[in-house]
């Protein structure tokens, strides 16, 4: 190694030191510890007791909540992610049409996604209030008798998805940036060839933004595995008017991350919660793997 190389190595490590320390202390060591805890019975106060694969066995074969939380999480993912992507794409496509007042509309659609999640959650509990909320009031004025939303096990998950849809502004901005990069010449050529609007959408726009759709899909899937705060605030037994039960009516909103949190920080079953975290990790890797394997529809532009 030359003197120059040694100097670079020294400086490089020095400048990267914050991350190196952070990685070792807050990521690498915790990963090892978490795996160890997952094989233990551990309540923080006493030393962990080795129990082998017992936590995993209990989770997979005995815990009645485990499958329920998986079902709830997958429900939120399977309906929530495509809906938000579709809505965000439609809004972005509308904004990408040379409209006047672009920045006004963009602001209106984006603003909800900067609202603190606690404020969003409390606000939507009130908006979705079956008797006095504004959604059921609007539905009533259309002659529809609105459902009980968060109080009704059949409607609680759709209610949460609806709340999430209000915050699609982030995804919309990413789509808009993607749409703006689609070369105009492609559309002009297609118009000359007599392609109609739908054909242009299907054959030009969607292939061109497919990498963006793919990115947002992966991000959405990751986020829905970790979905916690809203559901915790909106349905976790904090509103006496909802009967004060954790996980919403009939456990219909007990999602995976919520159950994990309850085990870790309310029941102090840290070992059990660690095992849940590892299953969560494996599940998200598996789902992302499947998405990657079936990503033949993603069209990457040739090198420019």
Partner 1 sequence: MLGKKNDCVWIYAALLAGSFLFFMPFWWMLISSLKTNEQIFTVPPDWFPRPIHWQNYLDAVTFIPFVRYLWNTLIISLGNTVGNVLSASLVAYSFSRIPWRGRDVCFYLMLGTMLLPPQVTMIPVFVIFRTMRLIDTFAPLIIPSFLGTPFFIFLLRQLFRGIPEALSEAARIDGCSEWQIYARIIMPLSITGLVTVVVFSFLWSWVDYLNPLIYLQTPEKFTLSLGLQQFQSSHALEWGMLMAAGTLMVLPVVLLFFVAQKAFIRGIITGGLKE
From 60, 144, 191, 301, residue interacting with partner 1 (rule: CB under 8 A) = 191
Rounded Cα distance between 277 and 288, Å, is: 16
Rounded Cα distance between 274 and 265, Å, is: 12
Using the rule CB under 8 A, give the single segment among 22-30, 49-57, 72-80, 245-253 that binds partner 1.
22-30
Of 144 and 177, the one with the shorter C-beta distance to partner 1 is: 177
Rounded Cα distance between 175 and 160, Å, is: 23
Task: Provide, rounded to whole angstroms, the least separation between the CB of residue 152 and partner 1.
Answer: 18
Q: Please, which residues bridge with residue 41 across strands?
A: 49
Q: How far apart are the first and last CA of the chain?
A: 37
**Which residue from 25, 61, 32 is spatially nearest to 48, judged by alpha carbons?**
32
For partner 1, the binding residues in 158-187 under the rule CB under 8 A are: 166, 170, 173-174, 177, 184, 187
For partner 1, the binding residues in 235-254 under the rule CB under 8 A are: 238-241
Task: Provide, rounded to whole angstroms, the least separation between the CB of residue 292 and partner 1.
Answer: 12
223 contributes a contact to partner 1 by CB under 8 A: yes
**Which residue from 188, 209, 216 is spatially nearest to 300, judged by alpha carbons?**
209
Q: Please, which residues bridge with residue 49 across strands?
A: 41
Angle made by CA atoms 165, 256, 265, in degrees to the nearest 5:
115
Using the rule CB under 8 A, give the single segment among 59-67, 72-80, 108-116, 150-158 that binds partner 1.
108-116
Using the rule CB under 8 A, give the single segment among 61-69, 72-80, 151-159, 218-226 that binds partner 1.
218-226
8 contributes a contact to partner 1 by CB under 8 A: yes
115 contributes a contact to partner 1 by CB under 8 A: yes
Write out the H or E segment, with its range, that includes residue 40.
strand 40-41
Task: Provide, rounded to whole angstroms, the least separation between the CB of residue 63 and partner 1.
Answer: 17
């Amino acid at each position: 190694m030359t003197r120059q190389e040694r100097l670079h190595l020294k400086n490089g490590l020095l400048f990267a030191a914050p991350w190196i320390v952070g990685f070792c202390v807050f990521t690498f060591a915790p990963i090892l510890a978490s795996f160890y805890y997952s094989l233990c019975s551990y309540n923080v106060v006493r030393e962990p007791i080795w129990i082998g694969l017992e936590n995993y066995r209990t989770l997979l074969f005995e815990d009645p909540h485990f499958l329920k939380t998986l079902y709830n999480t997958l429900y939120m993912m399977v309906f929530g992610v495509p809906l938000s992507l579709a809505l965000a794409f439609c809004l972005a496509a509308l904004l990408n049409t040379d409209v006047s007042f672009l920045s006004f509309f963009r602001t209106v659609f984006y603003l909800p996604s900067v609202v603190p999640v606690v404020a969003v959650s409390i606000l939507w509990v009130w908006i979705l209030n079956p008797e006095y909320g504004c959604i059921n009031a609007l539905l009533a004025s259309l002659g529809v008798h609105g459902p009980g939303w968060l109080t009704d096990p059949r409607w609680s998950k759709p209610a949460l998805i609806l709340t999430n849809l209000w915050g699609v502004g982030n995804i919309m901005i990413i789509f808009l940036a993607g749409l703006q990069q689609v070369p105009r010449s492609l559309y002009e050529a297609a118009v000359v060839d007599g392609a109609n609007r739908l054909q242009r959408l299907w054959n030009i726009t969607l292939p061109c933004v497919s990498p963006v759709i793919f990115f947002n899909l992966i991000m959405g899937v990751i986020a829905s595995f970790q979905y916690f705060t809203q559901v915790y605030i909106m349905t976790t037994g904090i509103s006496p008017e909802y009967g004060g039960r954790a996980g919403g009516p009939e456990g219909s909103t007990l999602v995976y991350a919520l159950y994990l949190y309850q085990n870790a920080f309310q029941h102090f079953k840290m070992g059990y919660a660690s095992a849940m975290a590892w299953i969560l990790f494996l599940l998200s890797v598996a789902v992302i793997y499947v998405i990657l394997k079936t990503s033949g529809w993603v069209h990457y532009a040739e090198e420019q």
